[in-house]
Amino acid sequence: MSHSISSISAAVRQDFPILHQSIHGKHPLVYLDNAASTQRPTAVLEAMDNCYRRDYSNVHRGIHELSERSTAQYEAARQTLADFVGARDAAEIIFTSGTTAALNLVAHAWSAAVLQPGDEILLTMLEHHSNIVPWQQAAARHGARVVFAPIGHHGSFDLVEWQKCFTPRTRLVSFAAVSNVLGYRLPIEPMVSYAKERGVTVVLDAAQAVPHEPIHFENLGVDFAAFSGHKLLGPTGIGVLYGRRQWLERIPPFLGGGSMISGVTTSGFTPGELPAKFEAGTPPIVEAIGLAAAVRYLSDIGLDQIAEHEKSLARRARERLTQIRGIAFLHREREVASGIVSFHVPGVSAQDIAVLLDCKGIAVRAGHHCTMPLHDFLGVPASVRASFYLYNTAEEVDYFGDRLQETIERLSA
């Protein structure tokens, strides 16, 4: 398969069976909720189906043919993911159930090894709850403190203000590569450099970056990074924690049980080698195989092309929505580096907008998008988010804009 999507091709959409349906029996599906979760191409569905139909068994410990096949595919998937995100060693790729689980793993295990009373963890006001709550829990366990770097009135990120938040007690910084609401990319490279110069551990929430842009964790210099499979055309129930080997060897296991040990006695246990040390229990075998198929699909198309396509759709959407009276964007156009467009209409319920759009076959997200501190700071109780991906078209953007204008006019009447 080789696709070019300078303008989205019919071939790409044909790879996604779910897109070819009518909503409420009469409206073609326009799926614009990709920042929450993406759809799956046939290649992913077939890879998972083939494993279940022909090769499935538990991995690593079996000596029979099916176990050997499943193990080979599972570990090949790990190598595929390592190559995709620039890990030096496949053992630095830990399969989890998603970004949330990966960040919880780091917050629990890293804090157990490092965090002391009075230490500080630096976050930003832009973070998803999955990159806030685990750190708050870790701080509470160890008598540490979570510090939130301020942002500008329009949600803009100021590198200098972030740097001012560092103190001699700053032990870790964690931040999203791309905001799941505002859609812009933080200055990852200078942020990592500044933190590393001060001996501060860096954790990257890459959930909104890995599906949309080429990324190389080793070159970026981050210590840990997390992302989810379902946001990059893969299945639910699987995510990835990337960790530098020296950190993964230093911190203790998060979960105990089968697979993560090299030995157990009545007096204790010895953890296994990486990556088994952090993969207790039966792992997401078929999900990993499906995620590897998704990664191959995206790599074949090219993330650079996908990113440009998304941004072109987002620009088109902003131009159309700017013509609609009452819309207030949550972010400035010059800062947008992804396919996310978030807005609200003062005096009009975001949920009502989403419900009426659904009646026309359009799927968007309404609410606080798991960023309550950000919405509180912006003074917006809830917003509407349209998010685009490789299978969306300019025609869908135009249809969305027209139906949104009708919806707002109806709700404002």
Please determine, for residue 111, whether its predicted confidence score (pLDDT) is greater than 90.
Answer: yes
Q: In the CATH hierarchy, which top-level class contains the domain 45-299?
A: alpha beta
Question: According to the model, what pLDDT value does residue 1 have?
Answer: 38
Please determine, for residue 257, whether its predicted confidence score (pLDDT) is greater than 60.
Answer: yes
Average pLDDT of the chain is 95
Q: Which of 7-11, 140-144, 328-332 has the lowest mean pLDDT?
A: 7-11
Question: According to the model, what pLDDT value does residue 334 have?
Answer: 62
127-153 b/e (C-beta count within 10 Å ≥ 16 → b): bbebbbbbbbebbeebebbbbbbebee
Query: Quick one: what percent of the chain has pLDDT higher than 70?
Result: 97
| Chain centre to alpha carbon of residue 6 | 24
Average pLDDT over every residue of 133-155: 95
Q: In the CATH hierarchy, which top-level class contains the domain 10-31+303-412?
A: alpha beta
Q: Which of 115-124, 149-158, 186-195 has the lowest mean pLDDT?
A: 149-158
pLDDT, one tens digit per residue, over 20-65 is 999 999 999 999 999 999 999 999 999 999 999 999 999 998 899 9
**pLDDT band at residue 114 under the 50/70/90 scheme:** very high
Active site residue 359: no
Please determine, for residue 6, whether its predicted confidence score (pLDDT) is greater than 50.
Answer: no
Going by DSSP bridges, is the β-strand pair 362-363/30-31 parallel, antiparallel, or unpaired?
A: parallel
Average pLDDT over every residue of 75-89: 98
**pLDDT band at residue 155 under the 50/70/90 scheme:** confident
Structure token pair of residue 399: 């249809």
Where in the chain are all domains bearing CATH 3.90.1150.10? 10-31+303-412
Average pLDDT over every residue of 136-143: 98
Average pLDDT over every residue of 148-164: 92
Query: In angstroms, rounded to a whole number, what is the distance separating the alpha carbons of residues 294 and 249?
Result: 29
Question: According to the model, what pLDDT value does residue 43 have?
Answer: 98
Structure token pair of residue 5: 């999507």
Who contacts 140 (Cβ-Cβ below 8 Å, separation ≥6)?
none
- Residue of 249, 220, 263, 286 whose CA lies nearest to 87: 220
Contact 180, 99 (CB under 8 A): no
3-state secondary structure the chain: CCCCCCCCCHHHHHCCHHHCCEECCCEECEECECCCCCCCCHHHHHHHHHHHHHHCCCCCCCCCHHHHHHHHHHHHHHHHHHHHHCCCCHHHEEEECCHHHHHHHHHHHHHHHHCCCCCEEEEECCCCHHHCHHHHHHHHHHCCEEEEECCCCCCCCCHHHHHHCCCCCEEEEEEECECCCCCCECCHHHHHHHHHHCCCEEEEECCCCCCCCCCCHHHHCCCEEEEECHHHCCCCCCEEEEECHHHHHHCCCCCCCCCCEEEEECCEEEECCCCHHHCCCCCCHHHHHHHHHHHHHHHHHCHHHHHHHHHHHHHHHHHHHCCCCCCEECCCHHHCCCCEEEEECCCCCHHHHHHHHHCCCEECEEECCCCHHHHHHHCCCCEEEEECCCCCCHHHHHHHHHHHHHHHHHHHC
pLDDT, one tens digit per residue, over 329-359 is 998 766 567 899 999 999 999 999 999 999 9
Where in the chain are all domains bearing CATH 3.40.640.10? 45-299
Contact 374, 360 (CB under 8 A): no
pTM beyond cutoff 0.85? yes
pLDDT, one tens digit per residue, over 389-404 is 999 999 999 999 999 9
- Burial class of residue 25 in the structure, from the number of CB atoms within 10 Å of its CB (0-12 exposed, 13-18 middle, 19+ buried): exposed
Please determine, for residue 204, whether its predicted confidence score (pLDDT) is greater than 90.
Answer: yes
Question: According to the model, what pLDDT value does residue 335 have?
Answer: 57
Query: In angstroms, rounded to a whole number, what is the distance separating the alpha carbons of residues 222 and 130?
Result: 18
Structure token pair of residue 72: 């080979």
- Residue of 1, 33, 24 whose CA lies nearest to 391: 33
Question: According to the model, what pLDDT value does residue 105 have?
Answer: 98
Contact 173, 202 (CB under 8 A): yes
Catalytic residue, candidates 51, 165, 359, 370:
370
Question: According to the model, what pLDDT value does residue 219 have?
Answer: 98
Question: According to the model, what pLDDT value does residue 159 have?
Answer: 96
